[in-house]
Structure 1
Amino acid sequence: MGLSDSSVATDAASVARNRLVLAVYTAAIFVSALLLFSVQPLFTKMVLPRLGGSPAVWSVAMVFFQSLLLGGYAYAHYLMQLKNRMLPVAIHLVLLVVALLTLPLSIAGGWGEPPTSGYALWLLGLFAVSIGLPFFALAANNPLLQAWFVRSGHPNGPDPYFLYASSNIGSFLALLSYPVLLEPMFTLRTQNLIWTGGYGLLIVLIAACGVLLLRSPVMAERDLQTEEADAPAPPWMLRARWIFLAAVPSGLLIAVTAHISTDVAAAPLLWVLPLSLYLLTWVLVFQSRPLLPHKWVLLMQPLAIAGVIALLAFGGEQNLLLTLGGHQLCFFVIAMACHGELARTRPAAKYLTGFYVALSFGGMVGGLFAGLIAPFTFSWIAEYPILLACAALCRPPGGNERLARWGWWYWPLLAALAVALIAPTYHPGKVLTWLETHRVWIIGAVGVLSALLALGLNANRWKIFATVAVALALIRAYPSDDGRVETVRSFFGVHKIVVTSNGQYHVLMHGTTIHGAEKYQNDDGTPVTGRPEPITYYHKDGGIGQAIAAIRERKGSPLRVAVIGLGSGTLACAAEPGETWKYFEIDQTMVDTAKDPKYFSFISKCDPDMKPVIGDARLTFAKEPAGIYDLIIVDAYSSDAIPIHLATEEAMEIYKERLAPQGAVAMHVSNRHLELSSVVVGIADANDLKSWVYNEDTNRDSEYIFSTTVVISARADADIGKLATSDQWALTEAEDDQRVWTDDYSNVLGAVWRRLKKGEE
C-alpha cells in the first residue's frame, strides 16, 4: 500500500469515526431529553390525585424541574473543570447507575397525604425525595455531553451548540407524544416500565459516548485548548444578561399558561401548547442556519408585545380561538427574541457549561417568580403583564435613536399621559365614563405607541418598557368585565366574584366558567329577602335538583347527603330542615368566599353552622363511615379543568361503600370541552351500578339558569325513585369499546375527541 493509499484509508477511517461520534452523541442527547420531558407529565400525573388535580401542581412541578435542572448544569460545569478526562466519565456513569437502582418511579413512603397548608413546599419535597436523583442525573446530560463532544476531536467540536437543537427536539416530541400516544395507550405502570427501560438504554449510549471520548486523540483536545486560550471570559454583565434573557421567557411560559387557563378557558391539556412553543424556540435559535433570521424576530417582538396588550384590553370571551392563538403566537415571538439574543451572544465552547448554568439559573428564577412567588403575592395573574413589560428590556441595546435631540421630552410627556389617564379612576364623573367607553382604543393606542417607538424611532429599551408599563397599568385601571370584580387567589387557582353592572347578581367565575350565582336584587331593584333560590346548575328543575327531590321522595324521611365541591355554597339552600348535609372542599379560600355574605348568602342564610371538611375528597371522604349516605353529590366537574382522580373506578368504589342500602351517587359533569357522561357510566358499571344520564339541551341559559349534564348511579331502579321512569333520564349502558378510567389509566384526549364529535352531530 502506497503513502497516498494509506492517507486515503486514514481519511476514510476518520470520516467514519466522525459520523459515529456525531450519531452516538446526537442519539444520547435526544434520548436524554426525551426521558427528561416525558418524566414530567408521567410523575406529575402520579402526584395530581393528592392535590385535587389542581393546575397549580403543574406550575410547582415546573419550578422543581427548573431548579433541579440548574443543579444538574452546575454539576456538569464543575465536573468538566477536572483535568483528568476519564474521571468525569466514571463519576457520571456511577451516578446514572445508582439512579437506575431507584427505578421504577414511585411516590416516596410517608408522603401519602398532604398537609392542610404549605402545599407548594410539600410538593417540592415530594418531588425531591421521589425522583430527585434520576432527574438530577438526566438534567446534567445535555451540557455534559456537549462538553465531551467538544473534546472528542469531531470537526464540529468548536461549536457544539447545534446539539442543543437535538436536545430540544427530543423534549418537544416527548411533550407532544405523551397526551397523544402514551396516555391513551398505556397505563401509568406500563409508562413507568417503558421509561425505566429507556433510562437503561440511555446509560448504554452515554457509556458509548464516554468510550468515544476516551479513545479520541489527546492532541485534538490540546489543539482545541490552544485555539480557545485567547477566547476572553464572558464579563459578569453579559452573564447577568444571560440570566435575565432566560428568566423572562421561562416566567412568561408559566404566566401565559396561567392566564389562558384562568381568564380565557380552563381547557384540558392547554399547558402543552405554550410549553411546546417554548421548546420549539430553543430548537430554532440554535440551528446552524436559523429558520427565522434574528433581526426579523426583533422587528416582530414589539408588535407581539403590542398584540398582547390589545388582547388583554379586549378580554378573552369574544373569540376564544383567536384569543388563545393570539396569546400563544405573541409568546412564541417574544420567546424567540429572548432566546435568539442568547444564541447571538453565546460564548466559545470553552465556556459552554458556564453558559448553560446561567441559562438554567435564569429559567429557575423566572419559574420561581411566576410559579411560587406571584400566586402568593397577587390576587390576579399580575405576573403576566409584569413579565411582558420586562420583555421590552430583552431587546439589545439601542443604536442611533432617531430624533435623539428631542428624546428627553418623552419622559415628562409619558408621565403626564399616565396621570391624565389614570387619575380619573379616583374621581368618578363624565371623564371617567368617556374613558371607560373608549378603554380599548386608548389602551390599544398606548400599546401601538410602544411598537412605533421601537420600529419607527429605534428608541432605547427603557422608553419602550415604560410605555408598555403604562399601557398595562391602564388595563388594570379599566377592566373589561362588566360590573364590579373582585379576585380571590389560592394554590388551587384564581376565582372572580363579579357583581353585575345593575347589582342584581353576584357571580362566581373561574376564567369564563361560571361556578355559581345568587340573585341579590329583584327586577324592580328591591333587595331579595328570605331564603335564596338555588340557580345556575342547581335550580329545582335541573338535573341535580331533580335528583335531590327524587331521592327525598323515595326515602320519605330526612336525607343524609354528602357534597364534594362547595362552590358558592348554593346547595346549602337545597337542604330541608332535619336533614344532614356534609360538604367536602379542597380550597379553604373557596369556603371563606362562600361564607362571606358580601359575596354570597347561601350559607349564611341556609346553613350558618356549616363546617366543610378541608382536603382532597379522595383522601378525606375515604375516612367517612361506610353505608350512611342516601345521596352523594360529586360537584367538582363544572370547571373545564377536571380532577380526574374523582372519576375513576377506584373513586366510585369509595362512593359506593359509603352509600346507604338504597343510596345513589349523582355526578355533575357539565363541561364545554370534555364528554364525561360515558366515563361515569363506565366506572359505575365496573362497580356493578346502573346509571341514568340527564342531558338537558334547552335554550334556558338566561337569568343564570343553565342546562346541565348529570349522571346518577345506583344499585337498582327503585333506588332513584321516579327518575327511573322519567323521559328526561336515560338508562345508559357502558360502552364496550371505551376503556374504563382507573387510577392507573385515563384518556383526557379521548374525552375531548368525543365532545368534539358530539358537537358536530
Structure 2
Amino acid sequence: MNSPDPSVVTDRPSASRNRLVLIVYTAAIFVSALLLFSVQPLFTKMVLPRLGGSPAVWSVAMVFFQSLLLAGYAYAHYLTLLRNRLLPVVIHLALLVVALLSLPLSIASGWGEPPTSGYAFWLLGLFAVSIGLPFFALAANNPLLQAWFFRSGHPSGPDPYFLYASSNIGSFLALLSYPVLLEPMYTLRTQNLIWTGGYGLLIVLIAACGVLLLRSPVMVIADIAAEDTDAPAPPWTLRARWVFLAAVPSGLLIAVTAHISTDVAAAPLLWVLPLSIYLLTWVLVFQSRPLLPHKWMLMAQPLAITGVIVLLAVGGEQNLLLTLGGHQLCFFVIAMACHGELARTRPAAKYLTGFYVALSFGGMVGGLFAGLIAPFAFSWVAEYPILLALAALCRPPGGAERFSRWSAWYWPFLAVLAVALIAPSWSDGRIMHWLDDNRVWMIGGVGLLSALLALGLNADRWKIFATVAVALVLIRAYPADDGRVETVRSFFGVHKIVVTAHGQYHVLMHGTTIHGAQKFQNDDGTPVTGRPEPITYYQKDGGIGQAITAVRERKGAPLRVAVIGLGSGTLACASQPGETWKFFEIDQTMVDTARDPKYFTYIRDCEPDLKPVIGDARLTFTKEPDGVYDLIIVDAYSSDAIPIHLATEEAMAIYKAKLSPQGAVVMHVSNRHLELASVIVGIAEANDLKSWVYSEDSNRDNEYIFATSVVVCAREEADVGKLASSDEWALTEADENQRVWTDDYSNVLGAVYRRLRDGEQ
C-alpha cells in the first residue's frame, strides 16, 4: 500500500471543532467592531475641552477613521499574501501588543491648544498621533480574521462574508450603547479603562483565532489552495465599481448628517442615527439569507431618491419629525441598494481582502469629499444633492428599455424641459412667480419622472441620473426660504442670512434655529435709524437684558463684561458708554458676518472697535486675568449640538475665577432639545455659587422676540441686585439625584429626557 501524500491527509475537522472555530472567530470580530466604533465617541468626547462641540468635529473624525480603515485593510491584504501561515499571526499579534502598550487612550502631548484656523487638519493630526496605532490594529481585524476563517477548514469558510454582518452588529451596538449606557453610567476615565480591558480581551481572542488557524488540517489547506487557483480574478472595471458603490453611501452618510444638523434641526445626537442606519445596511446585505431582498431595494431606490428631492423642496420646518424620519428612511433604502450591489458582486474568498480594500478606499473617497472637500468648496450643503444624483448611477446596468424606439428622443426632451423650468428663475416675470408658487409640485414632478423612468421604462441609469440632476438644480433655483438667502460656511457649520420680505429683518439662522436678527425697516417701510435695538433673545426686558440691567444697577458704575459667543453681534448694543465688553468667538466667519454692514450693523453702530478673541473659549478665556469681570455672559447653547465642555464643573470654576468679588455669570440655556438649567445649577453649586433661573414663554406679537431660559450664578444674593427679589427669577438648588457634569462625566441623553418630560407636563 502506498503511503498517503501529506497534502491529501483525510483528517477532517470535527463538528465540535467547527463550532469552536465559529464561536471564537465570531466573538473576535464582534468585540473588535465593538471597540472600533465605541472609541469614536469616546475619544471625540475627550477632545471636546480643546475644541467646541461642532458637528464638523464628527465629520472630520469620520474622515480620519475611514482613512485609517483603508490603511488597516491594505495591511491585512498584504499579510494574507504571505504563504507562511505562522508569520501573519505573529506579526499581527505583535502589532496588537505594541498598541496595547499605548493605552489607556489619551491626548498626545503637544496638542493641547488648536490653531486659529485649519481646524480640520489639526484634528486629523491629533487623532493620528493619539489613537492612530490602536485604531489601525483594530481596523485590520475584520478582513484579516475573515481571511483566516476562510483557511480554517470550517464548512462555511468558502463564503466568510457573513462574518461581516457580525462585525457591523458589533459596530451598531457600540454606537447605540454609548449615549444610552456608557455615557450616562460611567465617567470618561472609567469608560477608557473598560475600553482598554476590552482591547486586552480582544488580543486573547485573536490569539485563539491564530491557534485554530495553525491547527487546521493539512488536507483543508490543500483544498483551499486548489480552489484559490480556480477562482478568476475580478476585472479592474469591477474593482472600480466597488469603489464607486462604497463611496456614494459613505459620502451620503456625512452629507445627510450635515443636512439634518444644519438645514433641518441641529438636535443633539442626530449624527448617531444616520451612522446606525449605515451600519445596519451592511448587516442586512451580508446575511446568508437577506431579510430584505436586493431586488426590492433596487425597486425602492428611485422612489427613495424622489422622496429626498421632495423633502429638500419642501424644507425642514413644516414637520421636523416627519422630515428627519423621511431623510433617514430614504438614506436607508439608497444605502441598501448600493451595499446590496456590493454584496451581489463580491468575489471569491481568495480575493476577499482586496475586495475590502476597494470598499474602504471608496469609503475614504466619499468621506473626504463630503467631510473635507465640500465644506471648503461650497457655501451650502451641496454635497447632499450631488451624491444623491450619483446614487442613480449605482443602479446595475439595465436590460432592454421599454418603448426603446422613443428613448432616443428623451435627451432632447429633457434638455427642453430643463431650459423651460430653469430659465424663468433668472427673470422676475409671471411665469417665474407661478413656478415659484408651485415649486414643490414642479420639483416633485421632475423627481417622479426619474422614478417612472427606472420602474416603468427600465431606462438607462444615465437618463435617471440626468433627470435627478435637473430636479436638484430646480431646488437651488427655487429655494424654499422666504426672502433673499445667503449662506456662510465654515468648519463649524452652515449659517444662513435670511433677508425677509421688503428687507424688514435680517435673520441669522443655523438650521431652523435663529441665532440673531436685526430690524432694518419699520412696519411702515421707513428705515430704522439710530442705535439698533437688541431683539430675539436679547431684548432689554428679557432674561439676559434683565440680568445685565440688575448687575449694572447693583454696581452703579460702568461694567466690565465678557461674552462667550458673538452670533450676529446683538449684545454689542447692550453695552453703555464707558463700559468694557470683550467677546470670545470660535468661528472667524461669524465675526466677519457680524461686522459686515450688509448683514448686521450691531457692531458697527455700537462697538466699532470691537476685537473678538478667536478660539475655543474654554482655552482662550482661561488666559484672562482673574477677578476682573463684573459680568460673564455664556451664550453658546441656543438649540444646537451644544459645547458640553462649557457647561461642566471645571468650566464654571474658570468663570468664577475671572469674576470680580461681586460679579455674576449669566448662562443662556434656551434649547429645544435639552433641559440645561438644572445642569448649570448643579455645576454652580459645586463651585459654591447660588443660582437664579428665569424662564419666559413669550406671547408677544413681534415675531422676533423669543422665549428665553437664563440662569444667573453668583456668590451672594446681593451680587445679582433686584433679581434676587424678583418673582420672575427663582432661587434654585441643585437636584441631589442628578449627577454634576464634569469634564469626566456628562449625560446628554438625560438632558434630552428632561426636556421631553417637561414638555409633556
How high is the sequence identity, in percent, across the aligned residues?
85
Paired residue for 1:133? 133
Q: How does 1:667-678 map to 2 (within 5 A)?
A: 667-678=667-678
Which string of whole-angstrom CA distances, capped at 9 and with x for unpartnered residues, describes residues 268-307 of structure 1? 0000000000000000000000001100110000000000
Which string of whole-angstrom CA distances, capped at 9 and with x for unpartnered residues, describes residues 699-744 of structure 1? 2273301110000000000000000000000000000000000001
Paired residue for 1:550? 550
Paired residue for 2:757? 757
Paired residue for 2:680? 680
Q: Look up the equivalent residue of 1:320 and give its one-letter code.
A: L
Which string of whole-angstrom CA distances, capped at 9 and with x for unpartnered residues, describes residues 298-357 of structure 1? 000000000000000000000111000000000000000000000000000000000000
Please state whether the residue corresponding to 1:466 is helix, strand or coil: helix
Which stretch has the larger CA shift, 216-225 or 657-666? 216-225
Q: Look up the equivalent residue of 2:578 and give its one-letter code.
A: G
Q: Look up the equivalent residue of 1:86 and give its one-letter code.
A: L
Q: How does 1:90-101 map to 2 (within 5 A)?
A: 90-101=90-101
Which stretch has the larger CA shift, 490-499 or 214-223? 214-223
Q: Distance in 2 between matches of 1:342 and 1:421?
A: 37
Q: Distance in 1 between matches of 2:48 and 2:481?
A: 32
Q: Look up the equivalent residue of 1:695 and give its one-letter code.
A: S
Paired residue for 2:634? 634
Which string of whole-angstrom CA distances, capped at 9 and with x for unpartnered residues, describes residues 38-96 of structure 1? 00110011112222111100000000000000000000000000010000000000000
Which string of whole-angstrom CA distances, capped at 9 and with x for unpartnered residues, describes residues 204-255 of structure 1? 0000000000001122011012123121100000000000000000000000
- Number of matched residues? 752
Paired residue for 2:7? none
Paired residue for 1:119? 119
Deviation at 1:174, TM superposition (A): 0.2
In the alignment, is the contact (CA less than 8 A) between 1:645 and 1:743 conserved in 2?
Answer: yes
List runs of 5+ in structure 1 lacking aligned partners: 1-9
Please state whether the residue corresponding to 2:113 is helix, strand or coil: coil
Q: How does 1:44-55 map to 2 (within 5 A)?
A: 44-55=44-55
1:337 pairs with 2:330? no
Q: Distance in 2 between matches of 1:56 and 1:140?
A: 26
TM-score normalized by structure 2? 0.98
Q: How does 1:620-699 map to 2 (within 5 A)?
A: 620-699=620-699
1:27 pairs with 2:27? yes
Paired residue for 2:393? 393
Q: Distance in 2 between matches of 1:60 and 1:547?
A: 38
Q: Look up the equivalent residue of 2:405 and give its one-letter code.
A: R
Which string of whole-angstrom CA distances, capped at 9 and with x for unpartnered residues, describes residues 129-178 of structure 1? 00000000000000000000000011111000000000000000000000
Q: Distance in 1 between matches of 2:49 and 2:431?
A: 51
Deviation at 1:11, TM superposition (A): 9.6
Q: Distance in 2 between matches of 1:30 and 1:477?
A: 47
Paired residue for 1:191? 191
Paired residue for 1:728? 728
Q: How does 1:517-556 map to 2 (within 5 A)?
A: 517-556=517-556
Q: Distance in 1 between matches of 2:221 and 2:241?
A: 30
Q: How does 1:283-362 map to 2 (within 5 A)?
A: 283-362=283-362
Deviation at 1:258, TM superposition (A): 0.3
Q: Distance in 2 between matches of 1:550 and 1:40?
A: 44
In the alignment, is the contact (CA less than 8 A) between 2:13 and 2:153 conserved in 1?
Answer: no
Q: Distance in 2 between matches of 1:135 and 1:724?
A: 53
Please state whether the residue corresponding to 2:506 is helix, strand or coil: strand
Paired residue for 2:745? 745
Paired residue for 1:605? 605
Paired residue for 1:176? 176
Deviation at 1:408, TM superposition (A): 1.1
Please state whether the residue corresponding to 2:255 is helix, strand or coil: helix
In the alignment, is the contact (CA less than 8 A) between 2:629 and 2:660 conserved in 1?
Answer: yes
Paired residue for 2:705? 705
Q: Distance in 1 between matches of 2:88 and 2:543?
A: 65
Please state whether the residue corresponding to 1:134 is helix, strand or coil: helix
After superposition, the CA RMSD in angstroms is: 0.9
Paired residue for 1:569? 569
Q: How does 1:371-386 map to 2 (within 5 A)?
A: 371-386=371-386
Q: Distance in 1 between matches of 2:391 and 2:32?
A: 31
Deviation at 1:697, TM superposition (A): 2.1
Q: Look up the equivalent residue of 1:642 and give its one-letter code.
A: I
Q: Distance in 1 between matches of 2:323 and 2:362?
A: 28
Q: Distance in 2 between matches of 1:241 and 1:365?
A: 13
Closer, same or farther: CA 701–742 of 1 in aligned 2, 3 Å: farther
| Stretches of 4+ aligned residues off by more than 2 angstroms | 10-13, 700-703
In the alignment, is the contact (CA less than 8 A) between 1:665 and 1:714 conserved in 2?
Answer: yes
In the alignment, is the contact (CA less than 8 A) between 1:515 and 1:639 conserved in 2?
Answer: no
Q: Distance in 2 between matches of 1:81 and 1:228?
A: 12
Q: Look up the equivalent residue of 1:220 and give its one-letter code.
A: V
Q: Distance in 2 between matches of 1:227 and 1:210?
A: 22
Q: Distance in 2 between matches of 1:254 and 1:175?
A: 16
Q: Distance in 1 between matches of 2:513 and 2:296?
A: 39
Q: Look up the equivalent residue of 2:541 and give its one-letter code.
A: D
Q: Look up the equivalent residue of 2:217 and give its one-letter code.
A: P
In the alignment, is the contact (CA less than 8 A) between 1:165 and 1:287 conserved in 2?
Answer: yes
Please state whether the residue corresponding to 1:229 is helix, strand or coil: helix
Which string of whole-angstrom CA distances, capped at 9 and with x for unpartnered residues, describes residues 476-533 of structure 1? 0000000000000000000000000231100000000000000000011010011000
Q: Distance in 1 between matches of 2:666 and 2:185?
A: 29
Which string of whole-angstrom CA distances, capped at 9 and with x for unpartnered residues, describes residues 669-690 of structure 1? 0000000000000000000000
Which string of whole-angstrom CA distances, capped at 9 and with x for unpartnered residues, describes residues 551-584 of structure 1? 0000000000000000000011110000000000
Q: Distance in 2 between matches of 1:324 and 1:45?
A: 25
Paired residue for 1:227? 227
In the alignment, is the contact (CA less than 8 A) between 1:510 and 1:639 conserved in 2?
Answer: no
Q: Distance in 2 between matches of 1:55 and 1:305?
A: 25
In the alignment, is the contact (CA less than 8 A) between 2:11 and 2:217 conserved in 1?
Answer: no
Paired residue for 1:3? none
Paired residue for 1:410? 410
Q: Distance in 2 between matches of 1:703 and 1:234?
A: 62
Q: Look up the equivalent residue of 2:353 and give its one-letter code.
A: T
Q: Distance in 1 between matches of 2:49 and 2:476?
A: 35
Please state whether the residue corresponding to 1:508 is helix, strand or coil: strand
Q: Look up the equivalent residue of 1:176 and give its one-letter code.
A: L
Q: Distance in 1 between matches of 2:283 and 2:723?
A: 57
Q: How does 1:160-171 map to 2 (within 5 A)?
A: 160-171=160-171
Q: Look up the equivalent residue of 1:484 and give its one-letter code.
A: R
Q: How does 1:375-524 map to 2 (within 5 A)?
A: 375-524=375-524
Q: Distance in 2 between matches of 1:593 and 1:639?
A: 20
Q: Look up the equivalent residue of 2:145 and give its one-letter code.
A: L
Which string of whole-angstrom CA distances, capped at 9 and with x for unpartnered residues, describes residues 620-677 of structure 1? 0000000000000000111321100000000000000000000000000000000000
Please state whether the residue corresponding to 2:508 is helix, strand or coil: strand
Paired residue for 2:4? none
Paired residue for 1:7? none
In the alignment, is the contact (CA less than 8 A) between 1:307 and 1:326 conserved in 2?
Answer: yes
Paired residue for 1:4? none
Q: Distance in 2 between matches of 1:228 and 1:653?
A: 65
Paired residue for 2:586? 586
Q: How does 1:240-319 map to 2 (within 5 A)?
A: 240-319=240-319
In the alignment, is the contact (CA less than 8 A) between 1:701 and 1:707 conserved in 2?
Answer: no
Please state whether the residue corresponding to 1:502 is helix, strand or coil: helix
TM-score normalized by structure 1? 0.98
Q: Distance in 2 between matches of 1:67 and 1:97?
A: 22
Q: Distance in 2 between matches of 1:622 and 1:129?
A: 26
Paired residue for 1:70? 70
Please state whether the residue corresponding to 1:416 is helix, strand or coil: helix
Paired residue for 2:368? 368
In the alignment, is the contact (CA less than 8 A) between 1:640 and 1:674 conserved in 2?
Answer: no
Q: Distance in 2 between matches of 1:209 and 1:13?
A: 15
Please state whether the residue corresponding to 1:666 is helix, strand or coil: strand
Paired residue for 1:15? 15
Q: Distance in 2 between matches of 1:539 and 1:501?
A: 22
